[in-house]
Structure 1
Amino acid sequence: MMRLLIVALCIVSTYAGAQNPLRMLVTANANYYLPRNSGKQIYPILAYDGDADPKLLVGGFGLGFMIEQDVRNHIFWRAQINTSRRAYWDEVMLFNDVTGLPIGGAVCKGVDVVTNVTGAIHYKIGKSLSIGTGVGFDGLVYSYSRLPEKFIDNEVVRNSYYRPFVPLIPLELSVPIKRVLINLRYQHALINRLKSSIAEYEKDTYSALFIEVGYRIR
């Protein structure tokens, strides 16, 4: 998919021609991980919970780089890469003592560090709005769950049962304000993120919602 995305963007860029210069932006985002059919739950971007540990809940955020180029009067293409942290409440975990007797359960915090690449074609609606869609993928860099200390000594456990790459479809709504871009992006993953050995009996698909601000440097 990555090769097809690069080829498609190169063809569109060549068609656009040298008369349409590239726009380059640096971006920052806050994001929500949206579970679709698993026991996971949405984690807040930033909140305070006196009953949680830690009490300050810090969710998803990230940084990225974006390029754009006009193709026609109302059409332009966009490619971007982001590295983001995504947080979610993981499925309920049950814990036993050394003798095997149950001692309780807890909802743990899960965190994925993901490098995300997307390419999209946008259509301008008036002077201050555009909508677009395309293709992309999530590349998983690292995933872990933070377990409660009262149940286990090592409170951070790496998750090794997720696929390294997940294809997706992005849907974007963008508003440029001079050199600033405000972008709302919904990403819909296309496959089960669990590796094949686990995916035979369990399903975990997801989406993600990004609130993104970009600043044009060129």
Structure 2
Amino acid sequence: MNRVPAIFCVLFLLMSRASFSQKKPAEWYVTANGNLYMPVGTRSKAVYPILGYDKTTSPKILLGGIGIGAAMLKPLSNDLSFKGQTNFSKHTYWDEPVMMKDYVGASLGQFQSGSSDYGLGIAGMIHYYPVEAFSIGAGISAQINVISFSRTPGMYIGAEIDPGFVVNRYYKTVLPMVPVELSYKLKKLLFNVRYEAALMNRIKGDLADFRSDKFSLLTFELGFQIH
């Protein structure tokens, strides 16, 4: 069974179910997020900070995963709501270090490559409210990869390395995920902490036979109610 179409079928059914509840109007939010790419099934990658500083890297100011999006909350009952959301985000991580040499073959040490994926995330979740302002939700989601690139050594300028970029073409376009989310509502604000785990190896083609990358995402999100 093709799991990707199944993901979107279930999302559609959940959204259709939400439309039947007319007791309370839906709430709409614009969102901003910071996120951490959590490597799973690979030893070559490491977590990149959302915001940090490292004097040994270029650039020295490290700006990691960030994104913007929109969310909708539709009450289904007194203690259940359907949440649909989408976001466009950058997910950044430390990729496999590259050993560098100068023009005569002398070692310059390792070059730490920072990689970034730009993609669209969609999710459908059912949230349960044990108390009025706090909820926990779970459902299904998908990450749609738009482009991914790695920062790589480009050319030498004196003793310095001028980094370049290379596009990563060995990642699948659509990857199904399972999200679990904690939310807290405060007047017009919505605070979310969401963890999403991939259901399959994101590497495609023959490379997937000997390389695994089942990543997950930890997202910290702030929503502003607009309706």
Q: What TM-score, normalized to structure 2?
A: 0.89
Deviation of 1:144 after TM superposition, in Å, equals 0.4
Report whether the alignment pairs 1:35 with 2:44: no
Give the aligned partner of residue 168 of structure 1.
177
**Aligned pair in 2 of structure 1 residues 42, 154: CA closer, same or farther (>3 Å)?**
closer
Report whether the alignment pairs 1:217 with 2:226: yes
Provide, for residues 82-130 of structure 1, a one-character-per-residue CA deviation record: whole Å limited to 9, x for no partner: 0000110001223567898876432200000010000000000212210
Query: Which AA in structure 1 matches 2:51?
Result: L
Distance, in Å, in 1 between the alignment partners of 2:79 and 2:141 is: 23
SS at 2:153 equivalent: coil
Give the aligned partner of residue 69 of structure 1.
74
Deviation of 1:193 after TM superposition, in Å, equals 0.6
Give the aligned partner of residue 16 of structure 2.
11
8 Å CA contact 2:7–2:176 kept in 1: the answer is no
Give the aligned partner of residue 167 of structure 2.
158
Give the aligned partner of residue 139 of structure 2.
134
Distance, in Å, in 2 between the alignment partners of 1:3 and 1:205 is: 20
**Aligned pair in 2 of structure 1 residues 49, 3: CA closer, same or farther (>3 Å)?**
closer
- State the superposition RMSD in angstroms: 2.0
Q: What TM-score, normalized to structure 1?
A: 0.92
Unaligned ranges ≥5, structure 2? 1-5
Distance, in Å, in 2 between the alignment partners of 1:162 and 1:214 is: 30
Give the aligned partner of residue 60 of structure 1.
65
Aligned partner (choices 173, 194, 214) of residue 205 of structure 1: 214
Report whether the alignment pairs 1:86 with 2:91: yes
SS at 1:8 equivalent: helix
Distance, in Å, in 1 between the alignment partners of 2:103 and 2:214 is: 34
Distance, in Å, in 1 between the alignment partners of 2:33 and 2:217 is: 12
Percent of paired sites with the same residue: 35
Query: Which AA in structure 1 matches 2:66?
Result: F
**Aligned pair in 2 of structure 1 residues 8, 212: CA closer, same or farther (>3 Å)?**
same
Unaligned ranges ≥5, structure 1? none
Distance, in Å, in 2 between the alignment partners of 1:61 and 1:188 is: 18
Provide, for residues 34-88 of structure 1, a one-character-per-residue CA deviation record: whole Å limited to 9, x for no partner: 0012110000111111111111011010000111100000000000000000110
Provide, for residues 136-173 of structure 1, a one-character-per-residue CA deviation record: whole Å limited to 9, x for no partner: 10000110001134567761111111000110000000
Query: Which AA in structure 1 matches 2:201?
Result: N
**Aligned pair in 2 of structure 1 residues 101, 191: CA closer, same or farther (>3 Å)?**
farther
Deviation of 1:196 after TM superposition, in Å, equals 2.7
Query: Which AA in structure 2 matches 1:94?
Result: M
Distance, in Å, in 2 between the alignment partners of 1:163 and 1:157 is: 17
SS at 2:210 equivalent: coil
Aligned partner (choices 190, 211, 215) of residue 181 of structure 1: 190
Report whether the alignment pairs 1:148 with 2:153: yes
SS at 1:198 equivalent: helix
Number of aligned positions between the proteins: 217
